[in-house]
Chains A and B, each alone.
Chain A
Amino acid sequence: MRREIPLIITGLVGIVFVVQYFIPHWPFNRMNAWFSDWFSIVQACAIWLGALNLLKISLEKIARRKSDWGYAVVIIASFLLITIIGFVEGESFRDPGTRFTWLYDFVYTPLSSTMFAILAFFVASASYRAFRARNFEATLLLLAAFFVMMGRVPVGDALTAFMPEGWRLTDLATWIMNFPQTAGQRAIMIGIALGIVSTSLRIILGIERSHLGGD
């Protein structure tokens, strides 16, 4: 039964979601509402599960003095700090002026923005070391990147200001984004969609069972 019950739930929910898209009337609309609400409830529980799992893994790391266990101490300290402050502040913990908001605005926001900003340095360095015109395809990619990068900033327009309207770098970048790029994106999206449809059918029909975990 450990496998059959999840398979029945998956099949039932999958079929209801497919049917209600085409027949949005009772009882499918009602079932759709139930299942959607349950999805939110399960996901909310999963957030807690994820947080507690992170806590458990970090505590184990410290207890066993694994490599980089110092970072685990920082994780636990930050986790406890923000959770305790959130609970102490009460229901209005996110209102402007609270200690929780102060931590969010002046600690969390700059730290996470900094982490993301580091990407700019890595992108520049990686482009310098790896973006090479090795063959025809790589040269095409390089040229497209060049025109889009130049065309997406005002300096590109300024450098080609002598050219007539419609022939400047910004226009070329717009053309690349609207046609070759969109065509490529569509091909990828259609491929992904077909893959999702076939995988979903396999899961709904109980053919694909890897999501239930191995015995």
Chain B
Amino acid sequence: MSTRIKEILVVALVLVFCAIIYIGKVSGWMKGVTFSPAVSMIVIILLAASLAVILVLTIRGRLVGRRTVFVYVGIAVALPLFMSISQYIPISPEVRTLHDGLEDLQDGSKVLVSFDYDPPSAPELQPMAESFFRYCMDRDFKIVIMGLWPQGPLQANQAMEKVLEDPKYAAKNYQYGVDWVNLGFQTGNEFVIQRMGTDFRSMFATDYSGANYETLPIVKNVKNFSNVDYVFNLSAGYPGTVEWVQVAVDRYGVKLGAGNTAVQAPQCYPYLRSGQLIGILGGMNGAAEFEKLTGHEAKGTKFMLSQSFSHMIVIAFIIIGNVAFFMGGRKKNLSV
């Protein structure tokens, strides 16, 4: 069978799998499909055994191609979504300090949330946004939303809609304009933050849907950062957390917590160590830890099993690749 036909078969298989999942989700029967812990363990053992076989084959000089790696990554991400294994999620210091910073706020405080990301980063940042909103509603915080990325405010709306689907939070009757507001996107990157330091109105004359700033009770008396108790930035790059630290924290003394993609989080650690950032939620792991601390285990926690599996698969293939590399030192035909 040629490689092209194999590829077409794999794509067809994935499409059929996706179609089954979609139909199952729409018709409702998919919700109940979960592997029991015993079946989950069998799946894990089978996966581990197949990786051991690959390792043995590698040692014997038969290397697997990148397509095999792709298939394993796909399995590692998809299968855990059906597994019913619970994981213990330890809390890292940077997530705990972020949570403690929020706990120090009084009920009913005003928080500004800047959505500086777009859909590609949503799988990591959207769970953070949703759990942050849940926490805010639990504490009756007033939520002011804005975005330095054009798609940010749309992501905020998605998160808010998702949270309000929960009857517990719908019953809170959070009113737009009074308890929360979406000021929308503004161009200008760090200059927007700088202008907000002196006058919010100059950057957001109207809200997301065109309502005048003055007519919105939640922000009517908000002139600058001194009228906001806490700023939470969800960021996937530039402009993002680094700019918020450099302008809002350094210049205006804002209390800032951040949620970053796993790729961006390492860039923000120097600000954490220097105390400019109160805390960081780094990637899906940060989201899961925050969910655990706030008592709302949701997407972040659920997806951590996939994350665990995919990390293990990548590590396994790095080990296999290095075995091939060292074996190749002795047998020339084994280098990958």
Q: Counting CB contacts under 8 A, is A198 at the interface?
A: no
Please indicate which of the listed interface residues A153, A161, A168, A170 has the most CB atoms of chain B within 10 Å of its own CB.
Answer: A153
A79 within 8 A of partner (CB) = no
Q: Which residues of A contact B275 (CB under 8 A)?
A: none
B89–A123 CB distance below 8 A? no
Cβ-based interface call for B167 (8 A): no
Shortest B58–chain A CB gap in Å is 11
Contact A124 B87 (CB under 8 A): no
Contact call B187/A40, Cβ cutoff below 8 A: yes
Q: Does B231 have its Cβ within 8 Å of any Cβ on chain A?
A: no
Contact of A152 among B119, B269, B283, B318 (CB under 8 A): B283
**Is A95's CB within 8 Å of the partner chain B?**
yes
Q: Identify which of B107-115, B133-141, B203-211, B212-220 touches chain A.
A: B203-211
State the Cβ distance, B160 to closest chain A Cβ, in Å: 10
Answer whether A186 and B270 are a contact pair too, CB < 8 Å, given A39-B188, A43-B188, A95-B209.
Answer: yes
Binds B, one of A2-10, A61-69, A111-119, A201-209: A111-119
Find out whether the CB atom of A128 lies under 8 angstroms from the CB atom of B88: no
Chain B: interface size category? 35 or more
**Smallest CB-CB separation from A169: which chain B residue?**
B90
Tell me whether A94 and B191 are in contact in the complex, defined as CB-CB below 8 angstroms, given that A150-B315, A178-B269 are known contacts.
no
C-alpha spacing A169/B210, complex, angstroms: 50
Q: Mark B70-98, 1 if CB is under 8 A from A, else 0.
A: 10111001000000000111101100000
Q: Report the minimal beta-carbon distance from A172 to chain B, rounded to whole angstroms.
A: 12
Chain B residues near A132: list those with CB within 8 A.
321-322, 325
Nearest residue (CB) in B for A174 is: B92
B294 at the interface (CB under 8 A from A): no
Q: Does A131 contact B273, Cβ atoms closer than 8 Å?
A: no
Judged by a CB distance under 8 angstroms, whether A71 is at the interface is no
Question: Are A185 and B325 in contact, with the CB atoms below 8 A?
Answer: no
B310 lies within 8 A of A120 (CB): yes
Contact of B270 among A117, A125, A161, A182 (CB under 8 A): A182
**Can you spell out 30 A-B residue pairs with CB atoms less than 8 angstroms apart?**
A36-B191, A36-B195, A37-B195, A43-B188, A104-B154, A108-B119, A109-B122, A109-B158, A116-B121, A121-B70, A123-B314, A129-B321, A132-B322, A132-B325, A133-B322, A142-B318, A149-B311, A152-B311, A153-B307, A153-B308, A153-B312, A154-B90, A154-B304, A155-B311, A155-B312, A157-B88, A168-B90, A177-B269, A181-B266, A185-B269
In the A-B complex, list the 7 residue pairs whose CB atoms are closest, starting with the nearest: A116-B120, A40-B188, A154-B87, A128-B317, A155-B308, A109-B119, A153-B308
